[in-house]
Amino acid sequence: MTDTPFRAAPGPEPRRDAYDVAPKGEPEKDFEAIWATPQGLKVLSSVSHRVVGKRFLITGFIFFLIAGVLALLVRLQLIVPENTFLDSETYNQVFTMHGTIMMFLFAIPMLEGFAVYLIPLMIGARDLVFPRLGAFGYYCYLFGGVIVLSSFLFDAAPAGGWFMYVPLSTSQYTEGLSADFWLIGITLAEIASVTAAVEIIAAILCSRAPGMSLAKMPILMWYLLVTAFVIAVGFPPLIIGSILLEAERLLGLPFFDVAAGGDPLLWQHLFWLFGHPEVYIIFLPAAGMVATMLPVFVGKPLFGYGFAVAAVVTMGFLSFGLWAHHMFATGLPIMSLSLFSAASTMVAIPTGVQIFCFIATLTLGRPRLTVPMYFILGFLFIFVLGGLTGVMLAAVPFNFQAHDSYFVVAHLHYVLIGGFVFPMFAALYYWVPHFTGRMMSETLGKWAFWLMFAGFNLAFFMMHLTGLRGMPRRIATYPEGLGWDRLNMLSTIGAFILAAGVAVFIWDFFRHRHAGPEAGRNPWGAATLEWLYQPVTPGYNFRAIPEIRSREPLWDQPELTEGPAADIDGALRSCPDHRRETMGCDPVTGEPIQILRLPHPTWFPLISAFGLAVLFAATLASLYWLSAVGAVIALAGFTGWVWEPSDSAVVRDIGIRDGLELPVNVVDRRSHLHVGTVATILIMFALFASLLFAGLYLWNTQPDFARATERPARIFALLAFGFSVVMFALSWMNGRAAIRRAASAMIVVLNLLLAIIALAMGATLGLALLPVDPWSTAFAAVGWALGAFVAAHLAVVLYWSLFNGVRKITGAQLVGQGLPDLLLGAFGKATATMGVVTAIAFLFAGAPQ
Amino acid sequence: MNAPMLHIARPITLWALHFIAIYALISGACAPRALFDVEIMRAVSAILTLAFVLVTLAWLIIGLRTLRRLADDAPERPLAVAVAWIAAISLLALLANLWPVAFLSGCTG
């Protein structure tokens, strides 16, 4: 039974007339048909996590192959000294695109793919809680990736390195569109990452099977949960940095221009505030997949579940204290360097705890040496070596010596290929039977492993030596006789052996689709729920959602494995409303609190993402009228997306625990929508904090320019402060009215007042900024960026308030169906808080000129 | 969120706040604006660290006591282990934050 007493959620009174309907129900379809994937072209409207997850995985793998080919071109160029295979400009483009694609278009989307595909299956849900958001994220990623790749077609591929350092990437030193392709394409693709963060947080916290408390979650869920929080806080600095740099290129705003009090190091800070957590964003899910697979092949539960949770949580936090170790050679004060050096060394402790959990698990039994297990052992070997060179590089004196040498290239590939690519191949071999219903070849798999393992170590171990012999990174060629010739030759041979291993995997993948033996039920003897059904699992995941009493349900709950999976007792077997539904739980205890109604296939995610892609691409091409068209399409898509009758204020028997009745889409702070909104607000604040950091950084490092900046109009700043406080109060009242099921008329009035106050706040912030010339100094430009950021959020509040009001007036939202207002209240409070901070900043920043 | 999430997150969140505070203090003393003297920065850092260490130490002791009270097969035990270990790692990380301030003579080493 569960480890905490059941607490029923405060549900609404059952109502039997206007409410007791299931809008968008499909009474003509049976349960299987409701969950079926649309056929033909309509498959593009599918929002199923299984479809979207596989799209992420396939697209990510294609990008991996493209970036791999670019890596081979780099190695071919370096195979001999004085090589002329690639000219230096092409070489710069090739290594820049290799890094960019690997980091942004392969690694993160692959982890998103695994997360999107596996989370519902492992926690006992029928889909993610925001399926449309997942589909929207995928299309943004696809369109963003296409924009970045298309730069090759225009001979405008970015050539400034995957980190786009300024001033090299400013218009002064990079003319043309190459840097814009990077900034605009990657920013569009990053939307997928932040939407995935919201999706993962809300899904794991709010849709677990009955009884699955935090302590009973599969360990992978902890890794993904922490990763999602790291994404939510880690990506915003890069998004802000990219927007500032694009604004400098497009509008001439001097954020990084030294002559106007800007600072190129500001870009490095913003980039690496993202860049170092990024390594953990890539590594943690991979380690979580290892922690999931390892116990299966040892036949025992993971050693030290609690230790692993402690390790992943602390790694997630500590990863934010390491960013400046990428900037040791930039002239920061030694005391700052030492702080980051200490934090960089410190992160070895939780990493070590985690690795010891894996090693201890290995000692619990006699491991089966399957192909995934080979890759896991390869991961342990390679990643530990990469970790050790990481500790070396965390020491400032050694870092000064090894800086910008091939030693760093070797280290980062040991960490990233060891920490992500090897676990990813283990995961692919392990879960491919779940995708396709067939097993891949053990023999070919072992060939693939040994080729990849040997090739990798030959290629990259040598780079430690070339680095220690002084070979700098990113040089297009080198003179002979410096002691680098043979090492480079060996590295290139190793790279091609590694590529041969990948080719064997691809061959095996296509071969197994028709020749691989059928995977039976639970082919690896796993303990987690995704293997409950025989692959390929039906589209609904679980015919009835079982109660969970163990962290290893398939090992400890015989009732789950004794009979056909479709006959297992559980929640929501009946489907009276002919809607897609899954269970909603309390975020901590895992006790059921609501029924989640999920969307059916829809075109709106595709339309919205297409609109955004048009907006971004047209901006790149300086076709601003087309940008406006794209914005209108996106807005129409979002509006259609959220304009649908509310499902709340209905209760249903969920079919377990003697007729337990639960509300549909409960109006409660534990609702998945509220948790998702809170996660969104976390991202908003991370974006806002990045801008504040930029302002404070320039204020502190360029005091003369800060003093030379005109002060905003204080009277309007003061008014904006007052309006922000009023907005906070109104937002709070909106939320309270929603929870207390206030009369529609009253909430409509509150909506209108909120809209008016948002307008007033925007106007006063704008008037406060009027005396400030954004082109005068970088500090002034950041002030305008801060104002524009808050104004964008005010525009959302304005639109959302009016939208909610119209929905109530038209009867799309009835009394007691106040979820949209609860969410608007939370968003409004967050916006008002940012308004307060901005107004205070405007009151004190700059000086009268 | 209620107790388990809070207990898991609070020590390492405290570390994050401490890290930000030390970074801000170093920046305040060592950047061109030179907001205050290095010795002031050192004193404030020491006081802050002492306060943060005491709080984290208290959480560690509470965590270990909770752990001792739980049976080996108690369902809450895995997360109680996590809570205690997070407090222990956070404690070490707080001290790591302090050491440059404590041992370096000035901003430039």
**pLDDT > 80? residue A88:** yes
Give the model's pLDDT for residue A703.
94
Q: With beta carbons under 8 A apart, name residues in chain B contacting A345.
A: 96
Q: Is the dihedral of CA A549, A550, A551, A555 positive or negative?
A: negative
The ranges assigned to domains in chain B are 3-103
Give the model's pLDDT for residue A650.
86
Looking at chain A, which residue has its C-alpha nearest residue B109?
A334
**pLDDT > 60? residue A114:** yes
**pLDDT > 60? residue A669:** yes
**pLDDT > 90? residue A199:** yes
DSSP count for chain A of H helices, then E strands = 26, 4
The reported pTM is 0.95
Work out the pLDDT band at A5, boundaries 50, 70, 90.
very low
**pLDDT > 80? residue B4:** no
Work out the pLDDT band at A312, boundaries 50, 70, 90.
very high
Work out the pLDDT band at A17, boundaries 50, 70, 90.
low
Note whether B32 contacts A700, CB cutoff 8 Å: yes
**pLDDT > 50? residue A14:** no
Query: In this structure, what token pair is assigned to residue A9?
Result: 């959620």
**pLDDT > 50? residue A297:** yes
Give the model's pLDDT for residue A167.
94
ipTM for the assembly: 0.97
Query: In this structure, what token pair is assigned to residue B26?
Result: 């170093």
Q: With beta carbons under 8 A apart, name residues in chain B contacting A349.
A: 89, 92
Work out the pLDDT band at A654, boundaries 50, 70, 90.
very high
CA distance A24 to A706: 57
Note whether B12 contacts A317, CB cutoff 8 Å: yes
Q: Is B52 on the interface with A (CB under 8 A)?
A: no
Note whether B99 contacts A345, CB cutoff 8 Å: no
Q: Smallest CA–CA separation between B62 and chain A, in Å?
A: 16
Q: Is B1 on the interface with A (CB under 8 A)?
A: yes
Work out the pLDDT band at A644, boundaries 50, 70, 90.
confident
Do A211 and A685 meet the contact criterion of CB atoms below 8 Å apart? no
Give the model's pLDDT for residue A640.
94
SS (H, E, C) A454-520: HHHHHHHHHHHHHHHCCCECCCCCCCCCCCCHHHHHHHHHHHHHHHHHHHHHHHHHHHHHHHCCECC
Q: Smallest CA–CA separation between B52 and chain A, in Å?
A: 16
In a domain, A724, yes or no: yes
Q: Smallest CA–CA separation between B76 and chain A, in Å?
A: 7
Q: Smallest CA–CA separation between A213 and chain B, in Å?
A: 10
CA distance B82 to A832: 36
Give the model's pLDDT for residue A162.
93
Look at residues A171, A145, A130 and name the one whose alpha carbon lies nearest to residue A55. A145
Candidates A214, A221, A314, A552: best to mutate against B (most CBs of B within 10 A) is A314
Q: Is B100 on the interface with A (CB under 8 A)?
A: yes
**Residue A773's domain spans which residues?**
701-844
What's the whole-number mean pLDDT along residues A349-374? 95
In a domain, A789, yes or no: yes
In a domain, A652, yes or no: no
Note whether A215 contacts B79, CB cutoff 8 Å: yes
What's the whole-number mean pLDDT along residues A275-296? 95
pLDDT tens figures, A63-72: 999 999 999 9
Work out the pLDDT band at A671, boundaries 50, 70, 90.
very high
Query: In this structure, what token pair is assigned to residue A151?
Result: 């730069």
What's the whole-number mean pLDDT along residues A556-581? 92
Residue A164's φ and ψ, nearest 5 degrees, are: 50, 45
Residue A701, judged by CB atoms within 10 A of its CB (0-12, 13-18, 19+), counts as: middle
pLDDT tens figures, B35-90: 999 999 999 999 999 999 999 999 999 999 999 999 988 888 999 999 999 999 99
**pLDDT > 60? residue A385:** yes
Q: Could you give the C-alpha distances from A649 to A19, A783, B93, in angstroms and in order?
A: 7, 45, 48
Any idea which of A4-18, A378-392, A403-417, B88-102 has the lowest mean pLDDT?
Answer: A4-18
Q: Do strands A651-653 and A592-598 pair parallel, antiparallel, or not at all (unpaired)?
A: unpaired
Give the model's pLDDT for residue A19.
65
What's the whole-number mean pLDDT along residues A818-822? 92
Number of separate domains in chain A: 1
**pLDDT > 80? residue A645:** no
pLDDT tens figures, A466-497: 999 999 999 999 999 999 999 999 999 999 99
